[in-house]
Structure 1
Amino acid sequence: MSEGRVAVTGTPGTGKTSATTLLDVTVIHLNDLIREAGLWTERDADRDSLVADLEAVREAVGDWTGVAESHLAHHLDADRVVVLRCHPDTLEERLRERGASEEEATENAESEALDVILSEAVERHGVENVYEVDTTDRTPAEVAAEIEAVIAGNREPSAGDVDFIDYL
């Protein structure tokens, strides 16, 4: 596998952590780093989440190589960005199973249907550096294999291939 910086991002519940833990490369789990190193500015009580200090996160990871994984990973400088996608109905179900509130599950499903993270990734990194992977009916090992193909340069950019507008 070629060295470089690959951001694996996506709406919460798309399978980022499950897939990246199977990779045979250095993986920075940004959410753990943010929590453990205190790289946040406030706690969002409504969403029961931390608001990351993205400048502090960028500084903490420094000149990194490997894979950075988080719904915020596309905010880092990266050579390639893998956006994991999941059908909003399945995503809602996954989030509820993880204990998310009904409001949180619905909000994330709507964000997924509206391509929020994909749009941010394309805006920051360019369509030629973004790769979508639909995780809806794939195992973590199958998703990891897709990520490995991106890392190795064996997959073409694919932003805009996945469409969940039917959900809305």
Structure 2
Amino acid sequence: MRVAVTGTPGTGKTTATKRVETDLDIVHLNEVIRTEGLHDGTDDDRGSLLADFDAIDEYLAGKTDLLVESHLAHHFDAERVVVLRCDPETLEERLRERGESSASARENAESEALDVILSEAVTAHGENAVYEIETTHQTPEETARAIEAVIAGDREPSAGTVDYTDYL
């Protein structure tokens, strides 16, 4: 089985997946993109790497029993897609505390309010494969347990249960 854990930057993906107890191999995709050179250079405006999706597909090909974590994870094959969600105001604060520019933090908060990653995940994988987890007031351990419930099949799909449109 392959499970993707995705969400807007700052929702808690990396922190939570480091605490997930599972037999699946955990792939922190952003780290792999850097270390394996699976990119096409840098986006100078954002200061981030431009992921090479074909190279990532090749890297993941034939690998099973994976939990793939990244804001890009929903772009790749998965039986279940966990979308972590966070209140846009809290998300914006977290990103600024991590050193993101105000413009970048605001752009990500607006993307969260507009359900950008959720919409992409549902389009790519179908509503019945997507599980939203609201992380704003959860500890990383609580989020990890919720991800474990998705992996175990103990949680129902829940796309469209979080609404942040009032932020806009």
TM-score by length of 1: 0.97
Name the SS of the counterpart of 1:159 in structure 2: coil
Displacement of 1:55 in angstroms is 1.1
Number of the residue aligned with 1:33: 32
**Pair 1:21 & 2:18 matched:** yes
**Pair 1:97 & 2:102 matched:** no
**Pair 1:9 & 2:6 matched:** yes
Whole-Å separation in 1 of the counterparts to 2:103 and 2:155: 36
Number of the residue aligned with 1:55: 54
1:13-70, Cα deviation, whole Å (9 max, x unpaired): 0000000001123210000000011101121111000110011001112222220000
Aligned sequence identity (%): 64
Q: Which runs of 4+ in 1 moved over 4 A?
A: none
Number of the residue aligned with 1:114: 114
Which range moves more in the overlay, 38-47 or 146-155? 38-47
Whole-Å separation in 2 of the counterparts to 1:140 and 1:110: 23
Amino acid at match of 2:77: D
Whole-Å separation in 2 of the counterparts to 1:136 and 1:63: 35
- Structure 2: which 5+ residue stretches go unaligned? none
Whole-Å separation in 2 of the counterparts to 1:58 and 1:163: 32
TM-score by length of 2: 0.97
Number of the residue aligned with 1:145: 145
